[in-house]
Structure 1
Amino acid sequence: MKRPGADTLLLTGGILMTAFLLWFAVNSQLSAVPVARAMLQGLALSLGQAIDYLAARDPSLKSLADFRYRDIAYFALIDRSGRIRFHQNPELVGELVEDNRYHPAFSAAEPVENRVRLGTGEEVYECHLPLHLPGEAVVLRLVLHTWQADQVINRARTGATILLTLTVSAWVLGFLLFRLHKREARRREQMARQEQMARLGELGAVLAHEVRTPLAGIKGYAQLLVERITDERSRGFAALIVQETVRLEGLVNDLLDYARQDDPGDGCALLDETLFYDAWNMITNRADGQSVKPELSIPSDVRVACRPERLLQLLINLFSNALQAMPLEGTVHVKVTEERERVTLKVRDTGAGFTEEAMKRAFDPFFTTRPRGSGLGLAVCRKIAEGCGGGISAANADGGGAVMTVLLPTCRERRRS
């Protein structure tokens, strides 16, 4: 069973922490409303008891005129007919109440609460409480300012907003740091790969130069033996020597191509059918007994930022890889598209495709699944593609076979950059 990586664990932890913070913020916001309401209700009951006590001791209700509290907007006593028995504004005493919000308080067991808006535009808390004066029942209309209660809600709302802002900021910062970390990891990986490629290239170049001269001598003498020996069996052995030296020459050339320290993108090449058929003919001339045909889909006047000889080498290696995947017969599909100053080249064969391991290591130097392969063909392709400012990838085609995708900048894009 595959164990989760550090990135997955960090992401999971971040999601869980975010979910907890969101729950906490929403819960705090929702719980603030009933807390504020309970504050107002408790204050209204306390003030109502005090007013009830004063009214019971002074049936004339004159003592109520001196009752003050900072949270009281106003209070009034209303009888069953709707007439105001007392109001903090003496001019309203004896007037009839225009609304019926006080009616339920005569029969309700609990205070009747409302949020109403005064003529000044202020929203206040209105509570109706039944009071029992000597000989009659009245309703206390107590209107309170909601500043303190609203502060509880506002503090909860502000806290939730700050918490959500910090959470979003943390995610944005984490995302940026994650991208920087990934970019740095890719840069280190690319530098390590380039250093490895440079070391392998230097080693390959030394070996190639040391082997090339004696190899040419062996090949020359073997060819001379083929021409002069009359014994068929001995001539066959000499021909085998020539064949193997030709293969070794190909390996030496691959090593030299891989070790070349040039700039493949320092040029401009026309990617047309002529170039493709030149590369195709070079490969098929070496193939024996294969019945493989190409199918090309190439728009006209496509120019890429790559030196022509290096682009030709790229195509030769791609075609060689495709032909080796189809020992007897098949089709190599080539498709070129251009979009937004980038050219996409796809080479698809009808072979068996990549195994999982071969897919991961397709571009590693000296990795090959073929007994007589050098393992440098696709490595050289990647070096050329990346040297031109593009890239290359390998995948299995949906209908079977493998597909190599090469991205290259156009000459126009290279000149602008």
Structure 2
Amino acid sequence: MIRSAPLHTARVAWRHSLRFRLALTYTLVALLLIGMIGAGVMTLLLRSMDRQFQARLGDRAEAVAERLTTPQLGLRQKSPPTSGYTAILDEQGRVVTAAAGLGLENGEPFPYSGQTQPEVRGTPMRAVTRAAGTFTVWVALPTDDLVVARQSATRALLFALLLTPALMLVIGWWVGRKALANLEEAADLADRIDPTRSLATLPLPVQEDEVHRLLAALNRLLVRIEAVQSREKQLLGQIVHELGAPLTVLKASLTRAGDRTGDAEVLRAALVADELTFTTQDLMQLARGQLEMRLAWHFIPATTLRSRLDRLVPGTTFAGHWDGMLLCDPDRLTQALRNLLANARRAAGPEGNVTLTLEESAEHITFRVRDTGPGLPPELGDQIFEPFVSGSGSSGLGLSVSRQIATMHGGTLTAGNAPGGGAQFCLTIPGAALGEEDEEAEETVSASA
């Protein structure tokens, strides 16, 4: 059985999403790979360009040296066009002739001797020398092309490092959403399964991938859980049935014996039998589950409920306004309040006080049970209402059943510690104000009863 809650009631935060983590992981991997590969490719490209530039510079120097040593060749060929500078030096390193752009006079010392990367007139250059007989040929070319190429390659790499991860993150998120759509739908459906009722299996995707295997394993687990729950409920029901009849007879016999003899031990034994009877009722409630419990609505005086509770839990102090009317199932509400009072009595001890206060408003009726015991353990919190969880030495079923009964009445049951010390439980049900339709329904219920 599946609750009628809407789909997608609890969305996973993006930082906890599996598809986001997958997309982020692939994005970081892509960033690392692009950075490494891009840096390697850029390094190889720049080295290749540097070698080509150095070869072009060497070819230029070789051509000038060859024309200088072979005058006939120089008469037939023109120097290849270049944007660099050329100078011819003598054995003492003085200028024999130089390009006009260098601004050097013949015979003066050459200022760029020994420099492979000089700066000529503010322009970075790369220079080589070649021997040409008794002369030295000096050729320099500007490195502007290399600088521009390096800057272009660096910008292209940075652009790839910025754009590609962003695209990878968006595409990875979209692909992950498509790939994990079946898993997300199954998670929403699983969140709507009520484990206290019959379990439902999760829908399987068409493609038999890892998600299909996971959901199939969960379905097999759900089937096993349902089988175990069914056996447990059946066994628990049989045990309660076997204990119920003897305890009822024992309780009646001890009550009559106590009334006849007045023996305190017999009366105490009757109270123990009464405690066991209510425990078996709680176990039966747990075995049947909330689905099988039905409420028999009655419109009763609040004093009737107080009288029943006074007999079941002697020593209770009643406060508040008990002169009104209640629309409830008297047996179930008595069972719920009796469980709260019995727990409070155990917590308060023989010398402590237990108070049941009735507060009534136009919309709600609140029963406030307070004791003078040590209070509720703070580490339990709301778990105290789970079956077999107890902070007072009881079976741990009473509070769970009491909350279940309050819920079926359309109300709530909360727990906490009172400001002055001790535990405090508040059971709230809708008020007893009736409209015309409710009055007709109540008359029908009373007539059938």
Structure 2 length as normaliser, TM-score? Answer: 0.46
Structure 1 length as normaliser, TM-score? Answer: 0.49
Max Rg structure: 2
